[in-house]
Amino acid sequence: MKLKSTTLRSFTTLHSWVGLVAGFALFVAFYAGAITMFQQPLQQWATPHAVDIGIGSLGDAQRLLDGVLAKHPEAHEFLGMLFPGHESPQPVAYWMNRHGSWLYAGLDNLDGGPTRPLAALPELINELHFSLGIPVIGTWLMGGVSLLYGVALVSGFVIHLPRLTKDFFALRAGRNLKRFWQDAHNVIGVLSLPFHIMFAMTGAVICLLFVLMMALDPLIYGGKLMAASGAAMDTAPTIAKADVAHAMTPLAQWYARSIELARAQGVDDFEPAYLKLANAGDAHAVVEITGASAHALGTMSAIALDATTGAPLATQLPGQRDANHATLAVVYGLHYGDYGNVLVRWLYFLLGVGGAFLFYSGNLLWIESRRKRRQLEQGRAQINMARATVGICLGFCVAISVAFVAAQLWPAGVRWSCFISWAMCALWASHRSPVVAARELLWLAAIVTALIPIAHGITTGWWFWRSAAAGHAALFAVDVVAVALAFAFVELARVTARRARGGDANSVWAEPA
């Protein structure tokens, strides 16, 4: 297929500038998103002595439910609970107080508090993935970035369409480092294009769904959409209180009943993960049990029960969902990659790391393509872009590793340590030559990442060889992947140093005189 040179030039310009505008946010989203593929193992690794504590029982969950309802009347309106073993080894209850703030409680703290009794690290990484850690508007910002991401994908596809086969197989190593980076950028982009299209579409839907609903509500639905959205997205029907006290059946019966109903509808592997209880202690009490079922594109399923009798009220199970739930299940399933086994999660992990490389290498190519080849002094725009790329991207890699170390040595300071170290890396890079800053931050990333298994071993006693011998795959995997990444950062630091010494002197990546 032959495109006019003017058309190709227009799409190349569009691809470059959209990539630059959205690239930094997408690097953060993909690097953090790769890690979110292993939320549950990470929760176990980051929870102090989670292996030694053991998994709680349904009896523990019942005691927590009874204790919270007895101490907090506002929890009767709505109460959520994590079953032990899914995200936390012990049950966790949450509800909203009369001031509109969420409170969380465990068996050791029935009074509740604003801090979740779970490890902060997985939640932080998930926030970075979806909102860059920016409250409220961060998710909407990432929705806009996802749309720009889609534009970059389309323009990139048009650019490479005439030579798609050549780009697919071209990876030319040698002294021409720009050509090598260009080939690597193209090969990874072509190989992962279908997945990136899916990530862009599902990311935009997840991040902008609420904004889209607010925009369409007055125009199409006459202001009634938001009021109806709860019933459309939840499984349990909204039932008014009877204002008649009535005892509820035990929590263990809800658990068993949900599994029984799922099996009766052909879902044999339904595993309850959490519940939502409304109108507790009332004759119209309703409980919704949500759980995972493997071998389905949308794994999360839900069953609503009458909390006083155990009678089924509604179900949303694979193959039997309504249009709203089926659409959301597909969107979330595709984005999170939880529809397959561990191999699918590792594939998504590699796609996340590869995606981060795409945006990092895209910035490097933009800088290299605009350098002044006949003079030593480079343009201010190229130098500043190089510093920003190094400070934000490599600084983020350092910050994530710092957060992992803090999760073991200073759990309360995970968030502060992450953002402060990221800001310090960006500030450091802004005052150094780009290649020097890149080399220094890569070595720093290698050192801090290597400290992850050391901090874990010192704090818990579970060194990776001991975890492997005891069969604790989650602990072993996190530590070993950290070691592998540390070696990768060392190799990147060595390559960067070699480029600075032996590459073209007329470049922002050359060793300063």
User: Which CATH number among 4.10.860, 3.30.70, 3.10.450, 3.40.50 corresponds to the domain 234-336?
Assistant: 3.10.450
3-class SS of residue 289: strand
Helices (H), 132-250: 137-160, 164-169, 177-191, 193-220, 225-233
Q: Which amino acid is at 446?
A: A
What is the largest distance, in Å, between two alpha-carbon atoms of the chain?
A: 86
Q: DSSP state, 105?
A: E
CA distance 221 to 224: 6
Domain ranges in the chain?
Answer: 49-118, 234-336
CA distance 489 to 510: 19
pLDDT by residue for the chain (513 residues), tens digit each?
555 666 556 656 665 666 667 788 999 999 999 999 888 889 889 987 777 777 889 999 999 999 999 999 999 999 999 998 767 888 999 999 888 889 999 888 898 888 888 888 999 999 999 898 888 788 888 888 888 887 777 776 666 566 555 555 555 554 555 555 566 666 666 667 778 888 888 888 888 877 776 666 565 656 665 555 666 677 888 888 888 999 999 999 999 999 999 998 888 888 899 999 999 999 999 999 998 877 666 677 889 999 999 999 988 888 777 777 777 888 888 888 877 778 888 988 988 888 888 888 777 777 776 666 555 565 677 788 889 999 999 999 999 999 999 999 999 899 999 999 999 999 999 999 888 999 999 999 999 999 999 999 999 988 999 999 988 888 999 999 999 999 999 999 998 888 777 766 667 776 776
174: tokens are: 């040698």
Beta carbons within 8 Å of 85's beta carbon, 6+ residues apart:
55, 56
Query: CA nearest 413: which of 115, 19, 34?
Result: 115
Say what the pLDDT of residue 222 is: 62
CB 85 within 8 Å of CB 474: no
| CB atoms inside a 10 Å sphere around CB 5 | 8
Q: Which amino acid is at 436?
A: V
φ, ψ at 491 (rounded to 5°): -65, -40
CA distance 131 to 455: 28
Only one residue has tokens 């950290």, namely 482
Q: DSSP state, 393?
A: I
| CB atoms inside a 10 Å sphere around CB 77 | 15
Say what the pLDDT of residue 201 is: 86
